[in-house]
Amino acid sequence: MPSNRGLRLHPASPLFDVFSSVRSLVFVGVAALFAAGSDRTEVIIALVVAGGAALKGIQYFLTWYRIDATELVVSRGVIVRNERHIPFSRIQNLDLVRSPIHRMLGVSEVRIQTASGAEPEAVLRVLSEKAIAELQAGIGRVESSPTGAEAAPLVKLSIDDLVVLGLVSNRAMVVIGAAMGVLWQFGLTDRIEASLEGFAPALRGAGIGATAIGVAMFVVVLLVMLPALSVAMTIARFHGFTLVRNGEEFRLRCGLMTEYASTVVRERVQALSIRQSPLHRLLRRASIRIETAGGAKEGEQLISRRSFVPILPSDRAGEILEEVFPGVSLDDVEWRPLARGATRRMIKKALIVWLLVSIGAAAWLKLWGVGLAFVFLPVVIWHTIRTARFMSYARSGRAIMFRSGVWMRATTITLQERVQVVSVAENPFDRRHRHASLAIDTAGAGPIGHAINIPYLEAERAGSLRRSILSHMTEELSRSPSQR
């Protein structure tokens, strides 16, 4: 099947190329229209779009790819030709994105990720189902099972799960925030306020004040509209979510309108993080993120890392961990606390922050501020003590674990052989208490957002941990030569 001559993309490719460039041009166009609004700008925009479309058409005929024995070769470029060789062994992820239009034409956009950089190494826009199957077979990712017939999924989310996920994640908050920003930018909030005031006299007759309307609206938005919107957005994104392990790779697919499919090679997972918000804990749920080297700073690519498992019962987290890092278990983990005196230092730090905020509050709200500050004092101390108690680390077999947080809890696990750099740091305050912090760096773009950075350790312990992790790591690496 691997042929020596290059393969063309799907004939519909220029269409999608134009779509994607038009999408990025829309912003420029809208901005230009707002700025000038003359006929000439419209003509210029049309010309730019048409020119871009023509260029994409030419580009289609000059783009080809080839599946060799050990590498994928992608050649493109109108003026400057670029031939890119991607060894199969370096491919980290293969992501497919399929919007309703893609589905109508039976094609997908293919994104190939390697460990380098934030951008996908190659984007094949677009390939037919058959070409994708050939590509996957060539890369050696799919043994015999064609798409569809797979092993039993590790995680499968029902609509109920998605509703819970929508409520827990409160995805809409971000969108509403952005929308409010835009509204405010264009001065629309004033208009809304004005129209509200227009309503007011009518209602005042019924004995309802403007403030009451405001409060009522706020409550409705907060308790009804935001959650509803969150659930809708979550269902759109994660509908039909399944996570399957197929030999050495995980396959993840989801999406209502735009379908998204991703493969993550097990060996490439650098770290795994189990997260729980208070709501998660209340509902006994957790979410799992993973870190792979390179790629995925934004956009859909993030789904496979940020939402490796968007939501699952918290007692199943250990199961997923064992699937990702075989032989690593969350049971019988001996969590080691921070150094003696860590809690006292953290309280001291929290009190200094509290004092500064209190002074501000007192200056602004006078006696009320002072009162508020003292009401919050026990909360601050309680929160700090809880933080210090929960923050701990563990080593169990090849695994290094770190957990932290009071409200938002995160437990991050990596393997000794995945460690890149180990560092021990001491600041002047650390030195006074003979403390130090230990940072364990792994590869990855950081979608986990919970680095293994253990503060307030006894200095000697931090040093011996550093040496021990390094020697175990080099030992492990010399035993199995594969680098990550």
Query: Which residues contribute to the site for other proteins (CB under 8 A)?
Result: 115, 293, 419-428, 431, 439, 441-446, 451, 463, 466, 470-471, 473-474, 477-478, 481-484
CA 351 to the chain's CA centroid:
33
d(CA 106, CA 356): 61
In the complex with other proteins, which residue's Cβ is closer, 204 or 432?
Answer: 432
What minimum distance in Å lies between the beta carbon of 419 and other proteins? 8
d(CA 262, CA 280): 26
Reference 337, options 280, 403, 277, 383; nearest CA is 403
Q: Residue 9, exposed/middle/buried by CB under 10 A (0-12, 13-18, 19+)?
A: buried
SS3 state at 185: helix
Among positive and negative, which fits the CA dihedral 365, 370, 375, 381?
positive
What minimum distance in Å lies between the beta carbon of 294 and other proteins? 8
What minimum distance in Å lies between the beta carbon of 427 and other proteins? 5
Reference 286, options 296, 299, 300, 272; nearest CA is 272
What minimum distance in Å lies between the beta carbon of 319 and other proteins? 27
What minimum distance in Å lies between the beta carbon of 446 and other proteins? 6
In the complex with other proteins, which residue's Cβ is closer, 49 or 469?
Answer: 469
What minimum distance in Å lies between the beta carbon of 197 and other proteins? 46
In the complex with other proteins, which residue's Cβ is closer, 211 or 478?
Answer: 478
In the complex with other proteins, which residue's Cβ is closer, 349 or 431?
Answer: 431
In the complex with other proteins, which residue's Cβ is closer, 313 or 446?
Answer: 446
On whether the CB atoms of residues 474 and 416 are closer than 8 A, the answer is no
In the complex with other proteins, which residue's Cβ is closer, 282 or 425?
Answer: 425
Strand spans (E) along 14-70:
64-67
Q: DSSP letter at 315?
A: G
- What single string gives the DSSP state of each residue in 209-239? -HHHHHHHHHHHIIIIIHHHHHHHHHHHHHT
What minimum distance in Å lies between the beta carbon of 400 and other proteins? 15
On whether the CB atoms of residues 110 and 124 are closer than 8 A, the answer is yes
Q: DSSP letter at 154?
A: S
In the complex with other proteins, which residue's Cβ is closer, 187 or 428?
Answer: 428
On whether the CB atoms of residues 251 and 394 are closer than 8 A, the answer is no
What minimum distance in Å lies between the beta carbon of 444 and other proteins? 6
What minimum distance in Å lies between the beta carbon of 122 and other proteins? 20
d(CA 116, CA 262): 18
Q: What distances in angstroms separate CA 21 from CA 29, 62, 79, 295, one per listed residue?
A: 12, 18, 18, 21
Cis peptide before 126 (omega within 30 of 0): yes
What minimum distance in Å lies between the beta carbon of 479 and other proteins? 12
In the complex with other proteins, which residue's Cβ is closer, 406 or 424?
Answer: 424
In the complex with other proteins, which residue's Cβ is closer, 103 or 431?
Answer: 431
In the complex with other proteins, which residue's Cβ is closer, 189 or 464?
Answer: 464
Output the six-digit token pair for 305: 């890392």
